[in-house]
Structure 1
């Protein structure tokens, strides 16, 4: 039982880290597009 709890905790922590880094990466991309006018093209909106 304790092994299952530890494995579940590690799995949940890894999933949360992936989610946090994914959101952070997307925010950085949006920020880069807002700051750099060369990235604000029609092609980059699709």
Structure 2
């Protein structure tokens, strides 16, 4: 069963702290949604 998983990112994260877990979730068939802790901020990668 696929799930939506939200990942919270701030401005002081290292790439590997996001990319490795996000890739594992995607490989397991889940949808990864990236959010910022402050409303209105756009998270890009």
Considering the TM-score relative to the shorter chain, is it more than 0.5? no
Higher relative contact order (CA 8 A, sep 6+): 2
TM-score relative to the length of structure 2? 0.32
Higher helix share: 1
Give 1 or 2 for the bigger CA radius of gyration: 1
